[in-house]
Amino acid sequence: NKNDLIAAVADSSGLTKADAGRAVDAVFSSIEGALKGGGEVRIVGFGRFLLLNALQQLVATQELVKQSRLKHQSSQNLKLVHH
Protein backbone atom coordinates (compact mmCIF):
# COMPACT_ATOMS: atom_id res chain seq x y z
CA ASN A 1 0.00 0.00 0.00
CA LYS A 2 1.00 3.62 -0.36
CA ASN A 3 1.96 4.07 3.30
CA ASP A 4 4.31 1.09 3.11
CA LEU A 5 5.88 2.54 -0.03
CA ILE A 6 6.38 5.91 1.65
CA ALA A 7 7.97 4.25 4.68
CA ALA A 8 10.29 2.21 2.45
CA VAL A 9 11.32 5.33 0.48
CA ALA A 10 11.96 7.19 3.73
CA ASP A 11 14.03 4.33 5.15
CA SER A 12 16.12 3.78 2.04
CA SER A 13 16.69 7.45 1.18
CA GLY A 14 17.09 9.09 4.56
CA LEU A 15 14.16 11.40 3.80
CA THR A 16 11.56 12.15 6.42
CA LYS A 17 8.25 10.36 5.94
CA ALA A 18 6.69 13.71 5.00
CA ASP A 19 9.34 14.34 2.32
CA ALA A 20 9.13 10.74 1.10
CA GLY A 21 5.35 11.12 0.88
CA ARG A 22 5.74 14.21 -1.28
CA ALA A 23 8.26 12.39 -3.49
CA VAL A 24 5.96 9.38 -3.94
CA ASP A 25 3.02 11.69 -4.69
CA ALA A 26 5.14 13.55 -7.25
CA VAL A 27 6.09 10.32 -9.03
CA PHE A 28 2.49 9.13 -9.20
CA SER A 29 1.30 12.56 -10.28
CA SER A 30 3.85 12.60 -13.10
CA ILE A 31 2.81 9.14 -14.26
CA GLU A 32 -0.85 10.11 -14.09
CA GLY A 33 -0.23 13.31 -16.08
CA ALA A 34 1.58 11.44 -18.83
CA LEU A 35 -1.19 8.84 -19.03
CA LYS A 36 -3.95 11.43 -19.14
CA GLY A 37 -2.15 13.01 -22.08
CA GLY A 38 -2.46 9.72 -23.93
CA GLY A 39 1.14 8.76 -23.39
CA GLU A 40 2.85 5.82 -21.87
CA VAL A 41 5.45 5.74 -19.11
CA ARG A 42 8.31 3.25 -19.32
CA ILE A 43 10.63 2.71 -16.40
CA VAL A 44 13.56 0.55 -17.47
CA GLY A 45 13.96 -2.44 -15.20
CA PHE A 46 10.47 -1.98 -13.76
CA GLY A 47 7.84 -1.94 -16.46
CA ARG A 48 5.45 0.36 -18.22
CA PHE A 49 2.25 2.15 -17.42
CA LEU A 50 -0.43 2.77 -20.01
CA LEU A 51 -4.16 3.30 -20.02
CA LEU A 52 -6.44 0.83 -21.69
CA ASN A 53 -10.05 1.67 -22.08
CA ALA A 54 -12.64 -0.94 -21.15
CA LEU A 55 -13.19 -1.99 -24.78
CA GLN A 56 -9.46 -2.57 -25.36
CA GLN A 57 -9.29 -4.65 -22.18
CA LEU A 58 -12.30 -6.71 -23.25
CA VAL A 59 -10.83 -7.35 -26.71
CA ALA A 60 -7.46 -8.30 -25.23
CA THR A 61 -9.12 -10.68 -22.77
CA GLN A 62 -11.25 -12.26 -25.50
CA GLU A 63 -8.17 -12.70 -27.70
CA LEU A 64 -6.31 -14.46 -24.88
CA VAL A 65 -9.28 -16.78 -24.31
CA LYS A 66 -9.46 -17.50 -28.04
CA GLN A 67 -5.73 -18.28 -28.22
CA SER A 68 -6.02 -20.53 -25.19
CA ARG A 69 -8.91 -22.44 -26.76
CA LEU A 70 -7.01 -22.82 -30.04
CA LYS A 71 -3.96 -24.21 -28.24
CA HIS A 72 -6.17 -26.62 -26.32
CA GLN A 73 -7.95 -27.78 -29.49
CA SER A 74 -4.66 -28.14 -31.36
CA SER A 75 -3.19 -30.31 -28.64
CA GLN A 76 -6.33 -32.49 -28.58
CA ASN A 77 -6.19 -33.00 -32.36
CA LEU A 78 -2.51 -33.85 -32.42
CA LYS A 79 -1.93 -37.55 -33.07
CA LEU A 80 1.30 -39.41 -33.40
CA VAL A 81 1.46 -41.51 -36.56
CA HIS A 82 4.03 -44.31 -36.85
CA HIS A 83 5.15 -45.57 -40.26
Distance in angstroms (rounded) separating the CA atoms of residues 10 and 23: 10
The length of the chain, given as a count of residues:
83
For the packed helices 2-13 and 17-36, what is the interaxial angle rounded to 10 degrees? 120
- Give mean pLDDT, residues 3-14: 95
Q: Give the residue, 67 or 14, on which the prediction is more confident.
A: 14
Helical (H) or strand (E) element with 67: helix 54-77
Q: Give the residue, 43 or 62, on which the prediction is more confident.
A: 43
Query: Dihedral, CA atoms, 63, 65, 70, 71, nearest 10 degrees?
Result: 110
pLDDT per position as a tens digit, 11-61: 999 999 999 999 999 998 998 888 887 778 888 888 887 776 655 555 566
SS3 content of the chain, % helix, strand, coil (to 5): 65, 5, 25
| pLDDT value, residue 51 | 73
Nearest-Å Rg of the Cα atoms of the chain is 22
| pLDDT value, residue 67 | 66
